[in-house]
Amino acid sequence: MTNFTRPTIIRRARVIDKILAVKYGPKSLVRRSEPTSELICTILSQNTNDINRDKAFAGLRRRFPSWRDVAGARPNEIAKAIKVGGLSKIKSARIKNILSQIAEKSSDLTLSFLESMPDNEIWDYLISFKGVGPKTASCVLLFSLGRHAMPVDTHVHRVGRRLGLIPEKLNPEKAHHWFLQLNLPLNIYQLHINMIWHGRQLCRPRNPKCPPCPLKKMCLYYRQNPPQEKGREIKRLVI
């Protein structure tokens, strides 16, 4: 387990971000949708793939042009519109419930009031919804509001632990809040996307392709599992 302090993690994250941006290219966040849409979309993404999530979202917007229309609809009508995404009964109930909670604070159901709130308060508000967990909250924070949150999928979790950005024993659920507290002062979106690329291309779950990896000199995993013929290359960790 890494015992790195926050300043050390920040230094490491900056170097990792820079190296990955050279390898996989720079990335800029373009906010992909307003927070209510992002929130509903992530509910629809649960237990399905991106294609069916998008079809379900499109079906919902086709049947109900505004969020007010969705809020006023019967759950079985919503379920019918999102059926392609699976678990439509559960998801329709969650969507109804979330929209009625949002309506208590925002008559137009836009969640625009989140823009003026600090990250931690937005986090607490979002995870108070039934069916919204750390990953959904992180997605809304990063992709829709441009805040310093890191959605932790399987690639980010694995690469982050191997490189010492996430403590070894922290599970993905807890890693979301870990990143929120770290508040890394860098382009989190770029780091997020490039860590996923790295996890797919080189840093695979089994037999990661370490020899050509540009991060091996600072990798905790590589230090512990050096290939025989490369064992002498790494004399010390580079931070």
Residue 233 Cβ vs ligand SF4, minimum distance, rounded to whole Å: 11
Show contacts with ligand SF4 in window 134-173 (CB under 6 A): 162-163
Per DSSP, the chain holds a count of helices (H) and strands (E) of: 12, 0
Q: Under the criterion CB under 6 A, does residue 203 sit at the interface with ligand SF4?
A: yes
Residue of 32, 28, 6 lying closest to 145 (CA atoms)? 32
91, 96, 135, 216: which one is catalytic?
135
Q: How far apart are the first and last CA of the chain?
A: 16
Q: Is 230 noted as a catalytic residue in this protein?
A: no
Residue 210 Cβ vs ligand SF4, minimum distance, rounded to whole Å: 3
Q: Are 189 and 27 in contact (CB under 8 A)?
A: yes
Number of residues that bind ligand SF4 (CB under 6 A): 13
Q: Which of 39/213 has CB closer to ligand SF4?
A: 213
Q: Which of 16/122 has CB closer to ligand SF4?
A: 16
Residue 59 Cβ vs ligand SF4, minimum distance, rounded to whole Å: 40
- Going 159 to 31 to 86 to 97, the CA torsion angle's sign is positive
Stretch that binds ligand SF4, among 41-49, 82-90, 100-108, 208-216 (CB under 6 A): 208-216
Between CA 157 and CA 173, with CA 200 as vertex, the angle to 5 degrees is 20
Type of residue found at 21: A
Residue 188 Cβ vs ligand SF4, minimum distance, rounded to whole Å: 18
Dihedral of CA atoms 141, 84, 173, 24 in degrees, nearest 10, equals -60
* Residues classed as catalytic: 135
- Residues near ligand SF4 (CB under 6 A) are 162-163, 202-203, 208-210, 213, 215-216, 219, 221-222
